[in-house]
């Protein structure tokens, strides 16, 4: 049976414009909450290190711990949403995320903040993993890619605006104000879910939750070529991007002489490039097949990586040339992400969409937490950042080639 047969509303034209707009807005707010929580406080890293009597590498672990929490949280909340529906786990998770955001304001040491951010990641995973499952409940194939691209336009605004907003907040007060703002935004997203998001997985389509069933589902996902190859593309490309996200605050401000304000603007340009790639992908959906879109995105992204490597090796880096190279990398990734993610989720039945979303999200967040830390074991610098980006870019290229070979040899109708 085809994937579309499991979902009677799998085509976008089966939904009203009002419903589509509501879904984009609410799910966009949900999936934007965690990226906002990761990027909002980046400009405050140097101030936090001084205020908490810590080092740059130690403060960076607050980001790593949240990413690990996001990964583990998705592993639990995804399967729970297949058993109990989407709304209840979502409301509980987002409520706890709000509480932990406010708890960050009273941390008195970097170690305390690392622990709190881990639990913030655990609860915040609800918005990311369940939002993808809700999308799969309603869409499949290119319709899913199209909807995902619409939603990503909203969610990508969060990392673009996050550092800019964070930089302005710390000009008016100490760094804990950033987490107060974070808590308010999370509470707003929780309200939107409670008021506007209907249950998308009716009781008769839910699965019993047991260790054996969960293990069998994971086994089928790992051995499914149509699922695992695009997931590898997602996690390695995310590792490449997050190596930049987690280190460039230190590199630009401490090594290249940027201020907190100029860093936030430079970071915003990079995310704007990611948005542009996402919108370019939307324009290509009805004109170019997904495999060619993947090749185009990969070619653009790796061009930026190559230029960055050349600038670093030759010592010609600057606050103009490096951000341009990074923006080109982000532009190509804006094409890669929605196509790879939609391919992975479209390959699975809606009944296990939560588990599939959890598995992909868990690997993605774990990679985002671990891979950048591995790249900067010897210290945070332009050289270590570039080395990590190049390494993960090479692995991303290999994963894209593997994915295209699978889908070209045995194409999926959906």
User: Which residues have C-beta within 8 Å of that of residue 88, sequence separation ≥ 6?
Assistant: none
pLDDT(152) > 70 = no
Q: What is the mean pLDDT of the chain?
A: 82
Q: What is the pTM of this model?
A: 0.70
Task: Categorize the per-residue pLDDT at 342 as very low, low, confident or very high, splitting at 50, 70 and 90.
Answer: confident
Helix-helix angle 225-250:56-84, to 10 degrees = 150
pLDDT above 80 (res 147):
no
Q: Which two tokens stand for residue 84?
A: 């109990």
- Given this model, what pLDDT does residue 43 score? 82
Structure tokens at 226: 């149509």
Contact 338, 152 (CB under 8 A): yes
Q: Is residue 168 part of a domain?
A: yes
Domain assignment present for residue 414? The answer is: no
Distance CA 213, CA 83 (A): 11
364 has a pLDDT exceeding 90: no
Residues 6 or more apart whose CB falls under 8 angstroms from that of 165 comprise 40, 181
The verdict on residue 10 lying in a domain is: no
First to last CA, the chain: 11
How many structural domains comprise the chain? 1
Has residue 94 been placed in a domain? yes
Domain-embedded: residue 401: yes
In a domain, 201, yes or no: no
In a domain, 4, yes or no: no
pLDDT surpassing 50 at residue 221: yes
- 367-377, pLDDT tens digit by residue? 877 787 787 77
- What angle separates helix 353-375 from helix 321-346, to the nearest 10 degrees? 150
Task: Give the residue carrying structure tokens 């008769």.
Answer: 204
Q: What is the 3-state secondary structure (H, E, C) of the chain?
A: CCHHHHCCCCCHHHCCHHHHHHHHHHHHHHHHHHHHHHHCCHHHHHHHHHHCCCCHHHHHHHHHHHHHHHHHHHHHHHHHHHHHCCHHHHHHHHHHHHHHHHHHHHCCCHHHHHHHHHHHHHHHHHHHHHHHHHHHHHCCHHHHHHHHHHHHHHHCHHHHHHHHHHHHHHHHCCCHHHHHHHHHHHHHHHHHHHHHCCCCCCHHHCCCCCHHHHHHHHHHHHHCHHHHHHHHHHHHHHHHHHHHHHHHHHHHHHHCCCCHHHHHHHHHHHHHHHHHHHHHHHHHCCCCCHHHHHHHHHHHHHHHHHHHHHHHHHCCCCCCHHHHHHHHHHHHHHHHHHHHHHHHHHCCCHHHHHHHHHHHHHHHHHHHHHHHHHHCCCCCCHHHHHHHHHHHHHHHHHHHHHHHHHHHHCCCCC
pLDDT at site 411: 45
CATH classification at residue 103 = 1.20.1250.20
pLDDT for res 28: 80
- Residue 389: predicted pLDDT: 94
Q: What percent of the chain has pLDDT over 90?
A: 26
Residues 230 and 101: beta-carbon distance below 8 Å: no
Structural domain harbouring 323: 15-196+206-409
| 149 or 386: which leads in pLDDT | 386
Residues 6 or more apart in contact with residue 321 via CB below 8 angstroms: 311
Residue 229: what pLDDT? 93
Closest of 123, 79, 121, 94 to residue 29, by C-alpha: 94
Whether 412 shows a pLDDT value over 60: the answer reads: no
Q: Which two tokens stand for residue 250?
A: 């230190």
Determine, yes or no, domain membership for 184: yes
């Amino acid at each position: 049976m085809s994937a579309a047969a499991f979902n009677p509303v799998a085509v976008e034209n089966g939904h009203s414009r009002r419903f589509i707009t509501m879904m984009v807005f609410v799910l966009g707010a949900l999936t934007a909450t965690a990226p906002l929580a990761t990027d909002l406080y980046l400009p405050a890293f140097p101030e936090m290190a001084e205020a908490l009597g810590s080092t740059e590498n130690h403060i960076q672990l607050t980001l790593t711990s949240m990413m690990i929490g996001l990964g583990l949280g998705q592993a639990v909340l995804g399967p729970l949403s297949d058993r109990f529906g989407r709304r209840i786990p979502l409301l509980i998770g987002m409520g706890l995320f709000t509480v932990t955001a406010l708890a960050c304001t009273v941390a008195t040491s970097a170690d305390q903040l690392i622990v709190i951010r881990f639990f913030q990641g655990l609860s915040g995973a609800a918005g990311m993993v369940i939002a993808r499952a809700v999308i799969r409940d309603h869409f499949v194939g290119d319709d899913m890619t199209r909807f995902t691209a619409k939603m990503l336009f909203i969610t990508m605004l969060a990392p673009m605006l996050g550092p800019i907003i964070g930089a302005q907040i710390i000009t008016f007060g100490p760094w804990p104000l950033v987490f107060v703002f974070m808590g308010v935004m999370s509470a707003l997203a929780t309200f939107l879910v409670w008021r506007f998001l209907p249950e998308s997985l009716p009781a008769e389509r839910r699965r019993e939750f047991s260790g054996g069933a969960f293990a069998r589902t994971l086994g089928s996902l790992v051995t499914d070529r149509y699922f695992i190859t695009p997931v590898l593309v997602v996690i390695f490309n995310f590792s490449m991007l997050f190596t930049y996200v987690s280190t460039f605050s230190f590199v630009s401000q401490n090594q290249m002489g940027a201020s907190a304000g100029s860093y936030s603007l430079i970071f915003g340009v990079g995310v704007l490039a990611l948005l542009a790639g996402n919108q370019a992908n939307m324009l290509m959906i009805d004109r170019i097949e997904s495999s060619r879109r993947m090749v185009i995105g990969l070619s653009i992204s790796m061009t930026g990586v190559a230029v960055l490597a050349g600038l670093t090796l030759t010592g010609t880096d600057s606050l103009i040339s490096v951000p341009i190279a990074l923006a080109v990398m982000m532009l190509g990734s804006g094409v890669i992400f929605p196509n790879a993610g939609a391919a992975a989720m479209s390959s699975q039945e809606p009944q296990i969409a939560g588990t599939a979303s959890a598995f992909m999200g868990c690997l993605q967040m774990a990679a985002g937490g671990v891979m950048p830390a591995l790249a900067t074991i010897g210290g945070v610098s332009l050289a270590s950042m570039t080395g990590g980006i190049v390494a993960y870019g090479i692995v991303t290229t290999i994963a894209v080639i593997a994915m295209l070979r699978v889908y070209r040899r045995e194409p999926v109708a959906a």
